[in-house]
Chain A
Amino acid sequence: MKGRLITVCALAAGLLVFSGPVVAHHGSQGYDLSKRITLKGTVSRFAWANPHCQIYLDAKDDKGSVVNWAVELNNPGNLVRLGWTHVALKAGDDVTLAFNPGKEGKPVGICADVFFPDGRKLHSTQGCGIPQEPE
């Protein structure tokens, strides 16, 4: 438990240290950084590219219709430092994403945390604070 606490604290500290400049790379004003949503869905595409990697996720809305969400991540080099690889995700993967959504109802997001069914997690630090477990 103590080891886990240290790990979580170190991760949190790292996130805060490196968060400021990264989120400033491009406009973040279109995102609601005070709101966090969680979606369970299927990856339709994983883009490993500058300026930001992207996860495209098919998830059902309240009415049962499938919506394709586009969620941006950090850039590839920074993701490697965080333990990601270019094959961290692939089309067809079932995952849960937690992220900050766009302000105007567009199905986009930023600051994604990825939770896999087998318990693995991946985080993309972009100035959004400490990763949180999905509800």
Chain B
Amino acid sequence: MKSRPTCLVVAVVVVLTLSSVTFAQTAQPSGDTKAQTANAPAFDPHELTGVWVRGKAPRGNAPLSGTRPPMTPWGQAKFNTVKGSFSYSRSPGIAPPVAPENEWNDPMLQCEPAGYPRVMLQIYAPLMRFIQTSNEVVEFFEWGHTWRDIWTDGRKPIENPEPTFYGYSVGHWDGDTFVVDSNGFTDRTWTDPYGSPHSDQMVLHETFRRVDHDHLELVITLTDPKTYTKPWVSDKMFFDWAPKSPRSENEEFREDFCIYSDQANFFKNVDPVGASDAPVKNKTQ
């Protein structure tokens, strides 16, 4: 019994230490990057192939950054329709109001695709995987077991492409930075778990940089003049290289689907508030 208070103290100290690294320094790489690089295995900065686990930022359920650009009247009107569904502790200043459970309207609760860039900001399924071929880089996402094509064969972005959840993307190397430009997004998705809106005019400019063998850094710049009065530049996001998936018994990329019938059964059988009025039960698929 004597060990319990000691344990608690140790736990709290560890938590506070890790929390400060995890949550407070989201814009800085962890540790001494030069020292890490000196001891890390050799790597090719143009080699992205592999499994990447979302690192210390964003932890999930985060917006691109805590400072969302001012919205246009169109964007604000769209944001006003959001019925928030969970706590927004990461960036409360830009959170939508949390609504009663029977009013939640997060499209992902209906098992709609996360879309891009939201798939990078979700709390669950924090893995992505790159495979590079001669004419494209394929970015796989654990959530939904889906992917997007990033064409690297020299083609230019298409003007007014068919709208999709994951957009139309072209990429090229600028030195050691992999630059991706995307458009053609459907406006059905939320930009992030906070319900931040976007229109079908949204374009993304992304820079991926493998800073050392084990770490990948990403910055997303969202430009959508229909929704925001200026571009929205994300905080730096970090991903840790993984030799295998830590989230699958088979050590493979997990089939992490949102299955509508499972979702409905969960709300029906377990969730105490949503048993009779959960949003997933109020709609047909």
Contact = CB atoms under 8 A, between A and B. Distances in A.
Interface of A: 1, 5, 8-10, 12-13, 16-17, 20-22, 24-27, 29-31, 47, 49-52, 54, 56, 70-72, 75-78, 80-81, 85-86, 102-104, 106, 108, 130
Contacts of A103: 272
A78 B272 contact: no
A80 B124 CA distance: 13
Interface majority SS (helix, strand, loop, mixed), chain A = mixed
A60 B121 CA distance: 43
Q: Which residue of A50, A75, A85 has the most chain B CB atoms within 10 A of its CB atom?
A: A50
A49 B256 CA distance: 9
Contacts of A106: 272, 275
21 contacts: A5-B7, A9-B6, A12-B7, A13-B14, A17-B18, A17-B19, A17-B22, A26-B86, A26-B109, A29-B101, A30-B101, A50-B257, A51-B258, A52-B266, A72-B266, A77-B254, A78-B124, A78-B247, A80-B249, A108-B272, A130-B8
Interface residues of B, number: 45
Given A17-B15, A130-B11, 14 more contacts: A9-B11, A12-B8, A13-B14, A16-B11, A27-B101, A49-B259, A51-B266, A54-B266, A72-B271, A77-B248, A78-B124, A78-B247, A80-B247, A108-B272
Interface string B134-147: 00000000100000
Interface of B: 3, 6-8, 10-12, 14-15, 18-19, 22, 59-61, 85-87, 89, 101, 109, 123-125, 142, 246-249, 254, 256-259, 262-263, 265-266, 269-275
A24 B123 CA distance: 9
Contacts of B125: 77
| Residue with the highest number of chain B CB atoms closer than 10 Å, among A13, A21, A25, A26 | A26
Nearest to B142: A77
B274 A49 contact: no
A97 to B, nearest CB: 13
Contact of B246 (A21, A24, A52, A80): A80
A64 B194 CA distance: 47
Given A12-B7, A130-B11, A102 B272 contact: yes
A25 B8 contact: no
Contacts of A16: 11-12, 15
